[in-house]
């Protein structure tokens, strides 16, 4: 009995599985939504409204006035209630509570969206063992993300009415790692690998894409520090920083280098500098992919997406600081950063050799089954 034309072999990469790809893209979209809602939670000062971590029972909000008042009493013992939201009414408490509750609920739903179809596709033999292990690892990292979120919240329930900027940044970066990894495997299942052999400078382009991923990750990390230290308010001007390209006061204190991680003005400057490098890199990579001879048509869309999202990120960043970090612009700025990361992941995926291909089915059972 002959081997199916769709069976994986060294000369015939594995076929696509649209259902698996759609599921993984949905998982990545849920994580992106988590990042967006997490930013909204921070901007509305809602993140410290729930002072307990109940991974299962916390999915149900308080029911009845007595339950709500009990939750309010717990919150009133926190530093935020004593120092910031003094005399907060029950109605006001419910508003911030529901924002944080929805953020946590979305995290729980994301876990279900990852795990339930994973079991189904594994039983249907539409995923190989390696991919199952990888996705189970991502599911475990998702659970760790929930624990890290609570670790972050705890830092604002002891003395200070705000969370640790470093824990906030770690929480953000882990979410983006999950998003990028889910998007990568989704693209594996959705697209046939690009033959890079006839494309000149493909290796150089891939090196550039990976370097740009590192720069963008650092930019987003300092964006997390910007949020944690409220550094956007330290320089509500653009394109200069309080009237100067290199403002005074960035290296105050006995430990000059510590300013990069602690001084709001220095954090702001570092974030902008990294952002300019990331935007320049995205435009350069996009132009290079667009002008490469023999490149597949989808490279054009990736290149245009990189350019549009990179320029949009600069515009949204400027609007954010000029508006004194208005919630609308700040939320769009963070969401656009996630989309730019996703587009860059797509570029790196396209520029990775065909050995990245994984064994996925065609939607009709085990891909290794002979016909």
Domain count of the fold of the chain: 2
Classify residue 100: in a domain, yes or no: yes
d(CA 61, CA 51): 13
Confidence of residue 1 (pLDDT cuts 50, 70, 90): very low
Residue 363 predicted with pLDDT over 60: no
pLDDT at 7: 35
Encoded tokens for 58: 């916390």
Residue 218 predicted with pLDDT over 90: yes
Q: Do 41 and 146 lie in a common domain?
A: yes
Q: Do 202 and 314 lie in a common domain?
A: yes
Classify residue 183: in a domain, yes or no: yes
Query: What number is the average pLDDT over the span 311-336?
Result: 96
d(CA 318, CA 272): 10
Classify residue 359: in a domain, yes or no: no
Cis peptide before 239 (omega within 30 of 0): yes
Encoded tokens for 66: 């007595």
d(CA 346, CA 198): 20
Q: Do 348 and 203 lie in a common domain?
A: yes
Which burial class, exposed, middle or buried, applies to 132 when counting CB atoms under 10 A from its CB (0-12, 13-18, 19+)?
Answer: middle
Where in the sequence is the domain holding 117, given as residue range(s)?
Answer: 13-163+170-193
C-beta neighbour count of 312 within 10 angstroms:
16
Among 129, 119, 295, residue whose Cα is nearest residue 205: 295
Classify residue 310: in a domain, yes or no: yes
Give the total residue count for the chain: 371
Q: Do 214 and 316 lie in a common domain?
A: yes
Q: How far is CA 172 from CA 34, 60, 175, 258, 279, in A?
A: 10, 25, 5, 21, 20
Chain segment 308-318, per-residue pLDDT in tens: 999 999 999 99
Query: What number is the average pLDDT over the span 71-92?
Result: 94
Query: What number is the average pLDDT over the span 2-18?
Result: 45
Classify residue 305: in a domain, yes or no: yes
Q: Do 219 and 301 lie in a common domain?
A: yes
Confidence of residue 57 (pLDDT cuts 50, 70, 90): confident
pLDDT at 9: 36
Q: Do 205 and 187 lie in a common domain?
A: no
Q: Do 34 and 115 lie in a common domain?
A: yes
Which burial class, exposed, middle or buried, applies to 198 when counting CB atoms under 10 A from its CB (0-12, 13-18, 19+)?
Answer: exposed
Q: Do 202 and 277 lie in a common domain?
A: yes
pLDDT at 359: 38
Question: What SS3 state is found at 169?
Answer: helix
d(CA 298, CA 30): 24
pLDDT at 166: 96
Q: Do 179 and 213 lie in a common domain?
A: no
Q: Do 95 and 18 lie in a common domain?
A: yes
Residue 95 predicted with pLDDT over 90: yes
Chain segment 146-181, per-residue pLDDT in tens: 999 999 999 999 988 999 999 999 999 999 999 999
Classify residue 257: in a domain, yes or no: yes
Q: Do 153 and 267 lie in a common domain?
A: no
What are 352's strand-pairing partners? none
User: Phi then psi for 22, rounded to 5 degrees?
Assistant: -65, -40
DSSP one-letter code for 125: T
In the block, residue with structure tokens 């998003």 = 179
DSSP one-letter code for 78: S
User: What proportion of the chain, given as a percentage, has pLDDT over 90?
Assistant: 74
Residue 4 predicted with pLDDT over 80: no
Q: Do 189 and 222 lie in a common domain?
A: no
C-beta neighbour count of 39 within 10 angstroms:
24
Q: How far is CA 367 from CA 2, 18, 124, 174, in A?
A: 14, 14, 11, 33
Chain segment 104-121, per-residue pLDDT in tens: 999 999 999 999 999 999
Chain segment 256-304, per-residue pLDDT in tens: 788 999 999 999 999 999 999 999 999 999 999 998 887 888 899 999 9
Classify residue 84: in a domain, yes or no: yes
Classify residue 112: in a domain, yes or no: yes
């Amino acid at each position: 009995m002959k081997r199916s034309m769709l069976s994986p072999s060294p000369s015939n990469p594995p076929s696509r599985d649209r259902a698996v790809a759609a599921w993984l893209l949905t998982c990545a979209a849920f994580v992106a939504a988590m990042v967006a809602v997490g930013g909204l939670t921070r901007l509305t000062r809602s993140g410290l409204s729930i002072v307990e971590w109940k991974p299962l029972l916390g999915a149900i909000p308080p029911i009845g006035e007595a339950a709500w008042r009990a939750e309010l009493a717990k919150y009133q013992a926190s530093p935020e209630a004593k120092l910031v939201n003094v005399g907060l009414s029950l109605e006001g408490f419910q508003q911030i509570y529901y924002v944080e509750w929805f953020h946590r609920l979305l995290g729980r739903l994301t876990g279900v969206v990852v795990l339930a179809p994973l079991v189904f596709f594994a039983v249907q033999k539409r995923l190989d063992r390696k991919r199952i292990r990888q996705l189970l690892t991502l599911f475990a990292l998702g659970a760790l993300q929930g624990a890290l979120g609570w670790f972050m919240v705890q830092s604002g329930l002891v003395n200070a009415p705000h969370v640790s900027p470093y824990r906030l940044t770690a929480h953000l970066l882990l979410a983006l790692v999950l998003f990028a990894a889910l998007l990568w495997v989704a693209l594996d299942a959705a697209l046939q690998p690009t033959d890079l052999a006839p494309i000149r400078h493909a290796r150089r382009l891939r090196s550039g894409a990976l370097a740009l991923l590192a720069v963008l990750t650092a930019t987003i990390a300092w964006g997390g520090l910007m949020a944690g230290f409220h550094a956007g308010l330290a320089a509500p001007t653009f394109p200069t920083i309080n009237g100067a390209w290199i403002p005074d006061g960035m290296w105050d204190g006995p430990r000059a280098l510590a300013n990069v991680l602690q001084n709001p003005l220095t954090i702001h400057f570092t974030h902008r500098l990294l952002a300019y490098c990331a935007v320049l890199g995205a435009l350069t990579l996009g132009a290079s992919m667009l002008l490469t001879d023999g490149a597949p048509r989808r490279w054009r869309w990736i290149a245009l997406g990189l350019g549009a999202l990179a320029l949009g990120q600069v515009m949204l960043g400027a609007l954010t600081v000029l508006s004194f970090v208005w919630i609308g612009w700040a939320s769009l700025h963070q969401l656009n950063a996630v989309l730019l990361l996703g587009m860059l992941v797509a570029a790196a995926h396209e520029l990775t050799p065909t050995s990245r291909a994984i064994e996925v089915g065609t939607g009709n059972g085990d891909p290794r089954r002979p016909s």
